[in-house]
Amino acid sequence: MKIAVILGLILFAAFLMVPAASFVYESGAPGACARCHEMAVPVDQWAGSAHRGVTCAKCHGDALTTDAQFHMTNARRVVEHNFGQVAERAQLRPGDVFAILQRCQNCHPQEYASWAAGPHSVKYEPLFLDKKHNSERHLMDDCLRCHGMHYAGGIRDLVTPLNNQGPWSFRDASMADKPAIPCLTCHAIHAHGNPLKGHVRKAGISRKEDVMTPSLAFWDRRARESVSVALLPLPAVHEGERPVKMSPDQRQALCYQCHAPLGNTQVRSGDDRTPVGVHEGLSCFACHDKHKQSTRASCANCHPKMSNCERDVETMDTTFFNKNSGHNVHFVKCADCHPKGIPAKKAKLERARQ
């Protein structure tokens, strides 16, 4: 009886210790978090970030949070710390990424809504259980590089069976409706503005980063780290032998991590959409909205004032007007529509004659 009571008390104490650890993390605001070495780096980064006015708990939860996992993580950290097992650096658990997404929504409802309405809010299921895709191509760990990058395990832990016959399913059914390209794919919150500008030119990287949202970065699954867009390469794409004229907009380096050409650097290879033809030299962002990726609003910025054909470009035969068009708006050239040569400017000629 006595032993049972004591055991019970020990368990109860252990239970209390868990939120106590969380309390350690937030007692006395950010400074408190920085007491541990492994925390000092994220705290310093936060202090130099656009979110320096937002307290830790707003994104990470606090001692009153009911999510048991949150407290368990903190408890584990405190215990490990006390036993001298200090991590190389503190890291977010993959599960936390999905929880944090809801908190981004609280403060950035517009960006969240645009993202949710666009293609990048795609869930795990249509990507990993796609019958057509999986019967044509092998499932492999590399799939997780461009979508599902925050998943903790390998493809083996995610999908079964790993063959081309199927039927395929998730080992953990709850993954099906998780977002595969969440905000943190493209944004690093604990990030300084512009690092080491003087060295940027040397590496052949554009200096456009001055105008960019400082958090813009790509989540590198392998290194488990966000890499600032200023450090990402913009590929030199070719059309045959000819180097394509590329827009210097460094933000595109983000798109090229996923919508990438193959090693042969040819335009249209792999998932490449580098504009050639009438739109050569334009940035993806000249037409695509940053979150929704919609393009409709953009044409009017340049057309009709830059048009040649004296027609409404929005009703011309391109993928914009018709998804099955042979004239993709990224690649279409004058010669694709005018195989016999470019006609004379009738309207203008007539106007000139009058």
Partner 1 sequence: MLTGVKSLNRRNFLVTAAAAGTAACTGRPETPWRTLTADEATTLEAWCECLIPEDSDPGAKRAGVVRYIDIQLTRKFKRHRKAYSQAINALDKLAYAQNRGPFAALSFDERSLLLASFEKSENSKAFNMVLDHTLQGYFGSPRHGGNKDYASWRMLGVPPIPVRGRLQYSLLDPESNGGIS
d(CA 19, CA 22): 5
Indicate the SS3 state at residue 143.
helix
Piece in contact with ligand HEC (CB under 6 A), picked from 1-9, 67-75, 80-88, 303-311: 303-311
Q: Is 50 in the site for ligand HEC (CB under 6 A)?
A: yes
d(CA 77, CA 92): 12
Q: Is 246 in the site for ligand HEC (CB under 6 A)?
A: no
Residue 77 CB-density burial (10 A; 0-12 exposed, 13-18 middle, 19+ buried): buried
d(CA 118, CA 180): 13
Amino acid at 328: N
Q: CB 305 → ligand HEC: shortest distance, Å?
A: 9
Residue of 7, 27, 29, 345 that binds partner 1 (CB under 8 A): 27
Q: Which does 84 bind (CB under 5 to 8 A by kind): ligand HEC, partner 1, none?
A: partner 1
Handedness of CA 130, 105, 150, 17 (dihedral sign): negative
Piece in contact with ligand HEC (CB under 6 A), picked from 8-16, 50-58, 64-72, 200-208: 50-58
Residue showing tokens 């400017």: 345
Residue of 22, 73, 74, 185 that binds ligand HEC (CB under 6 A): 185
Residues numbered 282 to 321 that lie near partner 1 (CB under 8 A) are none
Q: CB 91 → partner 1: shortest distance, Å?
A: 10
Question: Phi, psi (5° rounding) for residue 24?
Answer: -55, -45
d(CA 303, CA 296): 12
Using CB under 8 A, list all residues that contact partner 1: 5, 9-10, 12-14, 16-17, 20-21, 23-24, 27, 31-32, 34-37, 39-40, 75, 78, 81-82, 84, 86, 88-89, 135-138, 142, 146, 164, 195-196, 198-200, 202-205, 218, 220, 223-225, 227-228, 231-233, 235, 256-257, 260-264, 266, 268-272
